[in-house]
Amino acid sequence: MLTRRSLAKWGAAAAGTLAMPAIAQTPAKVTLGVPNAATDVGYFVAHARGYFKEEGLDVEILPFPSAARMIAPMASGELHTAAGGPSAGLYNAITRGIEIRMVADKSKNTVGRSSIKIVVRKALVESGRVKTIADLKGLKYANGAPGSSATSGFHLLFKKAGIRPDEVTEISMSFPQQVQALETGAIDFAMPPDPAGTLAIKRGTVVKLMDGWELIPSHQVAVTLYEGRFAAQRVEHGRRFMRAFLRGVRDHNDALDDQGNFAGAKGDAIIDILVKYGSFKDPAIYKAFTLAYCDPDGTLDMKSLQDDIDIFQELKMLERPVDLKKVVDLSFRDWALQQLGPYKKS
């Protein structure tokens, strides 16, 4: 079982876990690693509204500073499920023999629905140092980890700007740290996902240069992962977890207007859950940006995943060739859809 001591061992930044109330019958324990992003909303809603509990699951939500920190506890079997980006590190772990499977969507950036922005320090704009993305040359930027899902965005940004990789300096740090580093001047630009990016803009410390979807119109930025033994030996639990998760994602989609913004009483109720479970405690921040698209049917964008693999290959970040057919397992998602039917907004 993951304990606070083992969390520290794997480098988790947040203390404590989000536990469920005790129930009469002992449910099956499932550990879930999350980066505590707003797009973890489907897991949070399923937990808060008792959907996991209804499936006979005791889901323990464990916050991590990045998806990269989740790979080791997944490899050991301590972490059963996780929300992670399809990173070069993840693919390398899988091709080295670590059994991890992508089983469903967590979030995508789509046109008009991107919670990732390229932001730059306001002082650099006000001084005239940065006027366009070409002016990012010679500056420092932060990535969650080398080869993370944001790597594709940075790669395409630099190509668009005509900047060689050796003409900028990359620093790895968590998303909350990125906002602090932008404020102190330790870095010059970044792509912190919302609400972190919007919060930095509202504080007046950074300026948005462009939205993430302008670089990649459809980008599978995060996925739901199952540890191999959990997927192979606890199939029923995996199915039930998926059904509860998709119910949570659908509740979230029901709470959005046509532009993807929280609206009405349903929206307020989802924001209350995000405030309770997430890192940002001001309800107003969740109405200040449009959340990335969380697919209510759990559909993965396979083309986007392959495009990322091709970029990682071009950047020589992959140790071995990656066969997506051996990485993706849609059987749990397909089972849940058979039970729930296709999503219809209510």
Claim to verify: residue 86 and residue 154 sit in the same structural domain: no
Q: Is residue 150 part of a domain?
A: yes
Q: Which of 188, 214, 240 is the last residue of a domain?
A: 214
Claim to verify: residue 274 and residue 195 sit in the same structural domain: no
Q: What is the pLDDT, as a whole number, of residue 175?
A: 79
Q: Is residue 321 part of a domain?
A: yes
Distance of CA 42 to the CA centre of its chain: 11
**Average pLDDT estimate for 335-345:** 97
- pLDDT bin (cut points 50, 70, 90) of residue 115 is confident
Give the pairing type, strands 140-143 and 169-172: parallel
Claim to verify: residue 228 and residue 329 sit in the same structural domain: yes
Q: Which of 214, 244, 275 is the last residue of a domain?
A: 214
Q: Is residue 132 part of a domain?
A: yes
Claim to verify: residue 196 and residue 139 sit in the same structural domain: yes
Which ranges of the chain does DSSP label H, i.e. alpha helix?
4-10, 41-48, 51-54, 71-75, 88-95, 122-126, 150-161, 175-184, 196-202, 228-233, 235-254, 264-277, 302-314, 324-327, 331-340
Q: Is residue 36 part of a domain?
A: yes
Which residue, chain included where needed, has tokens 């001591």?
5
Whole-structure pTM value: 0.87
Half-sphere exposure of 123 (CA within 13 A, CB side): 8
Claim to verify: residue 312 and residue 268 sit in the same structural domain: yes
Claim to verify: residue 165 and residue 238 sit in the same structural domain: no
- % of the chain beyond a pLDDT of 90: 74
- pLDDT bin (cut points 50, 70, 90) of residue 6 is low
pLDDT at 249 exceeding the cut of 70: yes
Claim to verify: residue 334 and residue 243 sit in the same structural domain: yes
Number of domains present in the structure of the chain: 2
Backbone angles phi, psi at 38, to 5 degrees: -60, -30
Q: For residue 324, count CB atoms less than 10 angstroms from its CB and return exposed for 0-12, middle for 13-18, buried for 19 or more.
A: middle
Taking residue 162's Cβ as centre, other Cβ atoms within 10 Å add up to 10
Give the pairing type, strands 57-63 and 81-84: unpaired
Q: What is the pLDDT, as a whole number, of residue 19?
A: 41
Distance of CA 41 to the CA centre of its chain: 10
Alpha carbons 185 and 156: distance in angstroms, whole number:
24
CA angle 23, 29, 34 (to 5 degrees): 110
Claim to verify: residue 225 and residue 159 sit in the same structural domain: no
Claim to verify: residue 90 and residue 230 sit in the same structural domain: yes
- Of 307, 301, 287, 292, the C-alpha closest to 330 is 301
Claim to verify: residue 196 and residue 294 sit in the same structural domain: no
CATH of the domain at 27: 3.40.190.10
**Mean pLDDT across the chain:** 90
Q: Is residue 279 part of a domain?
A: yes
Q: Is residue 345 part of a domain?
A: no
pLDDT at 56 exceeding the cut of 70: yes
Q: What is the pLDDT, as a whole number, of residue 69?
A: 85
Q: Which domain holds residue 202?
A: 117-214
Q: Which of 190, 214, 238 is the last residue of a domain?
A: 214
Q: What is the pLDDT, as a whole number, of residue 21?
A: 42
Claim to verify: residue 232 and residue 203 sit in the same structural domain: no
Q: What is the pLDDT, as a whole number, of residue 24?
A: 42
Claim to verify: residue 223 and residue 102 sit in the same structural domain: yes
**Average pLDDT estimate for 218-242:** 97
Residue bearing the bigger pLDDT, 6 or 256: 256
pLDDT tens track for 74-101 = 999 999 999 988 999 999 999 999 999 9
